[in-house]
Chains A and B, each alone.
Chain A
Amino acid sequence: MLFEVHDESIPLDLLDDHAWSELVACFDSRMWAVARAAGLGAADAADAVQGAWLRLVESVDRIRDPQAIGAWLMTTTRREALRLGRKAGQEFPTDPPDLYEHPTLLTPDPTTEIVDADYGRTLWSRVSRLDEPCRTMLRLFALNPDARYAQVASRMQIPVGSVGPTKIRCSAKLRTLLAEDPLEC
């Protein structure tokens, strides 16, 4: 669980400035990381995060499970990022859901709890187990959020056209490694 309100009997529509600031302190950096990891530049990522907060404000009267707020915020940020990214001309492998239409109907992604620095630290140890070029490529993308494919290609001395497919293969290897040897959240 990522967040607990002090008294679970308090309905969300009574959240005050203090409770809200706790939510912000707990999730703002994580939501930023999600928006950036979804491929947005800094300005669009800031909009995606604020958009998620605004969606929560307009939906809060209808969300009755305080324990689900963290997952809801992460998922909303990711989907808002996909939507804004598509408007900005980026291409994504799947169509974003219609968050704009029905934010309260959103089903949180099942894996949002891994968006956590402690999990990330352990995750780095898994990355170090990967063979090359995956180890270097995933490090480059993780440590250089604004890196373009041409820069990564130059750094790794591979054709630009092979960066995308290699990244997909490396991410799949990491997911396989995690499936075989899961980390504790």
Chain B
Amino acid sequence: MSADDTALETYLLAAMRLAAHADPPPARLSADAMAALSMRLPGSVVATPADLTAASGARSDGKPQMHRFAAGETTLDVETTITEGRLEIAGQVSPPPTPDAYVEVRTPHLTKVRVPSSDGQFAVTGLPPGWVSVAYHRPSGPPVVTRWLRVRA
């Protein structure tokens, strides 16, 4: 079956279910979609995955997963771990940040701010599993944001 046929089959099945009201969406779906809008960071530069073997939607299973993102000269390393049902992030920005720089570790429901150490390291605990993105704010240029990454146990 071709890729187009696979897509068509998916859309046909979706249309049949919509017509039959066979599978209504959960109530939280709309709230999640609205929450996504609040994650906008106009003017930001998107850092794309630099290590394709590691960078992908991840199931952590308690083991740290490493992801590298890059935008120009800026690199963000993000290590994700699920511990007791909560998401932990440890990361590093490079080149080393200036004193006014800070990092936001963002999920659609909770964002935490950290000032990285002089060598660029930062860490956050207690986040809800799911989609996460890191925004690096620096005085010398626009914020750099990583692509959204899904982390589940």
Q: Which of B23-31, B88-96, B112-120 contacts A (4 or more CB under 8 A)?
A: B23-31
Measured CB to CB, the nearest residue on chain A to B23 is: A145
Interface string of B54-65 (1 = CB under 8 A from A): 011111000000
A50 engages B32 (CB within 8 Å): yes
Measured CB to CB, the nearest residue on chain B to A142 is: B16
Measured CB to CB, the nearest residue on chain A to B13 is: A37
Q: How far is the CA of A93 from the CA of B56 in the complex (A)?
A: 20
CB of B16, distance to nearest CB on chain A (Å): 4
A54 engages B131 (CB within 8 Å): yes
Question: Which residues of chain A have C-beta atoms less than 8 A from B12's C-beta?
Answer: 114, 123, 171, 174-175, 178
Bin chain A's interface residue count. Answer: 35 or more
CB of B62, distance to nearest CB on chain A (Å): 16
Q: How far is the CA of A114 from the CA of B14 in the complex (A)?
A: 9
Q: How far is the CA of A103 from the CA of B148 in the complex (A)?
A: 11
Asked, given contacts A74-B11, A120-B16, A124-B16, whether A49 binds B29 with beta carbons under 8 Å apart, the answer is yes
Measured CB to CB, the nearest residue on chain B to A13 is: B42
B5 engages A54 (CB within 8 Å): no
A123 engages B46 (CB within 8 Å): no
B57 engages A87 (CB within 8 Å): yes
Measured CB to CB, the nearest residue on chain B to A116 is: B15
Q: Beyond the given A37-B10, A54-B148, A58-B133, could you list 20 further A-B residue pairs with CB under 8 A, ordered by the A residue number?
A: A24-B34, A30-B14, A34-B10, A36-B14, A37-B17, A47-B131, A49-B33, A50-B36, A53-B36, A57-B36, A83-B56, A84-B150, A93-B6, A109-B7, A115-B18, A120-B16, A121-B19, A142-B13, A143-B20, A145-B22
